[in-house]
Amino acid sequence: MGNPIEPADVRILEALQEDGRLTNQALADKVGLSTSPSWRRVRQLEETGVIRGYKAVLDRRAIGLGVLAFIRVKIDSHSAAEAEAFASEVSRLEEVVGCYSIAGDADFLLQVVSADLDAYADFAMSTLRRLPRIKEMQTTFVLKEIKPFAGFPLGFAGRRA
């Protein structure tokens, strides 16, 4: 983003990360602005891509997804085209809820959910393992979520290096 994030924008972002369903009036009251400037700032944050959308945060266990795992994947080739092809294929898999290209001894880190260990094993062996270019996979199962993702820290927002 070209323009620095101002303190009022940070207050808006913090409030919306906490509750994306706030009405404009409630948001304005919470951040100490009148409704019109609050609305304009939110629209500006949306138009510049700082706010990318609004979603409900679901409890994965309540919807039947008892297993959360991270899978480190090495692929055969390190060409940009091969990496993009792998990323494209993985992006279509419903069980993969996050995919990151990483540095180190693996190429990708996948965040995967499934109903149970049997469903995970079926997905890993019947779907994921059969994708072309996979050289190695290593799964780490989450035993307990200590601090699940709840939003980005905004204490640094607007500061220039």
Q: What's the pLDDT tens digit per position in 17-74?
A: 999 999 999 999 999 999 999 999 999 999 999 999 999 999 999 999 999 999 999 9
pLDDT at 81: 87
- Rounded to the nearest integer, the mean pLDDT of the chain is 92
- Is residue 161 predicted with pLDDT exceeding 50? no
3 pLDDT tier (thresholds 50, 70, 90): low
Mean pLDDT of 89-98: 96
Residue-wise pLDDT tens digits, 144-159 = 999 998 889 988 776 5
Residues with Cβ within 8 Å of 56's Cβ and at least 6 positions away in sequence, in order, are: none
Considering only CA atoms, give the Rg of the chain.
Answer: 20
Residue 98 has a CB neighbour count (10 Å cut-off) of: 11
Task: Report residue 94's pLDDT band, with 50, 70 and 90 as the boundaries.
Answer: very high
Instruction: Say if residue 96's pLDDT is above 60.
Output: yes
pLDDT at 1 exceeding the cut of 70:
no
> HSE on the CB side for 64, CA within 13 Å?
3
CA 32 to chain centre: 29
pLDDT of residue 158: 60
Residue 44 one-letter amino acid: Q
| pLDDT band (50, 70, 90) for residue 79 | confident
Contact 68, 60 (CB under 8 A): yes
Residues 159 and 148: their CA atoms lie apart, in Å, by 26
134-141, strands of its sheet edge to edge? 96-101, 108-114, 67-75, 134-141
Residue 107 to residue 83: CA distance in whole angstroms? 8
Q: Is the pLDDT of residue 5 over 90?
A: no
